[in-house]
Structure 1
Amino acid sequence: MNLPIVLALLVAAYLLGSIPTALWVGRRFFGLDIREHGSGNAGATNTFRVLGKKPGSVVMAIDVLKGWAATMMATVMLNQGAIRPDQLLYFQLACGVLAVVGHIYPVFAQFRGGKGVATVLGMMLAIAPATVGVCILVFLLMLFLFRYVSLASMSAGVAFALLQLLPPFRPDNSLLLVFGFVLAALLIYTHRANIGRLRSGTESRVPLFGRK
């Protein structure tokens, strides 16, 4: 293992995840701190809620890209000979998790970020694209039917874990299977406030096709 290269790219993964997309979009184009509105989170969900579907879509796309690019740094490690092929998945998960941590606790935004859902999506897109493709369809379907980003996010996370139990999506490494269920549990835990608002009927909906 080439430790200097590995450590440099692990730090880069965290810094990439720390780019506070929602905060910068809110300040640059709307003159507000997204963390002072809505749920108080600097993520795509709150951007949809406070600023609308176009800024929300931009923030989500960039946050997904952050997770994907950070996870792909493990491939750079492999190509540079810094890690062995059998270590690739472990470092993909490490780089992806660091990007998610960076999104939640961004060094560029006083360690106050979002919940990391879009960044997790990008991370898993780099590792298991076929499974994530189905999860994206689940997300879009739930969003279209109920217009709750939080509910759609949790549904997609649970779908990812369950899909891996099916032969077409079962991973070669059982670590990814375990990680999928841990990820689903964490998504539900980090959305516990949203679950409370969903149960009380006070969760904000995302307008779609002019629907309020």
Structure 2
Amino acid sequence: MNPSTPVSVLGAVVVAAVCFAIGGLNPATFVGRSQGVDVASVGSGNPGATNIGRALGRKWGIAVGVLDMLKGLVPTLVVLLTLGTWFALVAGAACVVGHIYSPYLHGRGGKGVATSLGAMLAVVPWAALAGLVAFLVALPFVKRLGDASVVATALLVVIGVVLAVRADDATERGVGVWLTLVSLLVLARHRRNILIWVTRLSG
């Protein structure tokens, strides 16, 4: 199917809307409420895995992280297998944007690390695994999950740019551009971590 046809555009809009709604579902909020905790009023107030882990313990943080990853992985993979790569790019991006700007939380949301990882595992698994390895390698040195996420996401930006520039076909270039933009969005959500780094280095 040609992505420029009206049917394709309509299909992309439907895919984006459905995946945005799925991405907006917030496991941290559900888990917090089930345990009598308002995640917005504890720790950083961020409705994500890291904050719920601080509030309720590591096992709950891991559980939320896995659920956040699955809501990026499953919809994107289903779309990839049924409609193809271009629609999967729309699906993955919509899941991430829905998580970050949840319509159920009045536009608030998490930082998008786990959800973007899930979407990337569906579309470009080798890059997602490279980012995961970078995260695990960086974590013992930087100590903080957010800082390790910055390192991993920065690597994914580089991979995306290289892929977009060196790709041999339009689909591969599209994947590279998508990987770059999604990673930049996640980096933007970590601007506080980046600002602290810059301040330390400049001081």
Please classify the TM superposition score into its range, dividing by the shorter chain length: 0.7 to 0.9
| Kept after mapping to 2: 8 A contact 1:157/1:183 | no
Q: Distance in 2 between matches of 1:191 and 1:155?
A: 11
| Kept after mapping to 2: 8 A contact 1:163/1:170 | no
Q: 1:194 to 1:140 in 2, by over 3 A?
A: same
Q: Distance in 2 between matches of 1:123 and 1:192?
A: 22
Give CA-to-partner distance per residue, 1:116-148, whole Å, 9 cap, x none. 111111111101111211211111222233321
Q: Counterpart in 2 of 1:122?
A: 118
- Root-mean-square deviation over aligned CA pairs: 2.7
Within the alignment, does 1:68 sit opposite 2:73 as a pair?
A: yes
Q: Counterpart in 1 of 2:87?
A: 91
* C-alpha displacement of 1:90: 2.2
**Residue type of the partner of 2:63?**
V
The counterpart of 1:141, out of the listed 134, 137, 142, is 137
Can you give the 5+ residue segments of structure 2 that lack an aligned partner in the other structure?
Answer: 1-6
* C-alpha displacement of 1:62: 0.5
Give CA-to-partner distance per residue, 1:87-122, whole Å, 9 cap, x none. x33211111111112112223333322121111111
SS at match of 2:86: helix
Q: 1:11 to 1:198 in 2, by over 3 A?
A: same
Give CA-to-partner distance per residue, 1:8-45, whole Å, 9 cap, x none. 4432211211111011111112x111111222211122
Within the alignment, does 1:15 sit opposite 2:21 as a pair?
A: yes
Q: Which TM-score applies when normalising by structure 2?
A: 0.79
Q: 1:132 to 1:12 in 2, by over 3 A?
A: same
Q: Distance in 1 between matches of 2:10 and 2:179?
A: 30
Give 1:50-61 correspondences, 5 Å limit.
50-61=55-66
Give CA-to-partner distance per residue, 1:57-90, whole Å, 9 cap, x none. 1111110000011212423542xxxxxxxxx332
* C-alpha displacement of 1:151: 1.0
Q: 1:183 to 1:111 in 2, by over 3 A?
A: closer
Q: Counterpart in 1 of 2:188?
A: 189
Structure ranking higher in helix proportion: 2
Within the alignment, does 1:48 sit opposite 2:47 as a pair?
A: no
Higher RCO (C-alpha 8 Å, min separation 6): 1
Report percent identity of matched pairs: 34
* C-alpha displacement of 1:185: 2.9
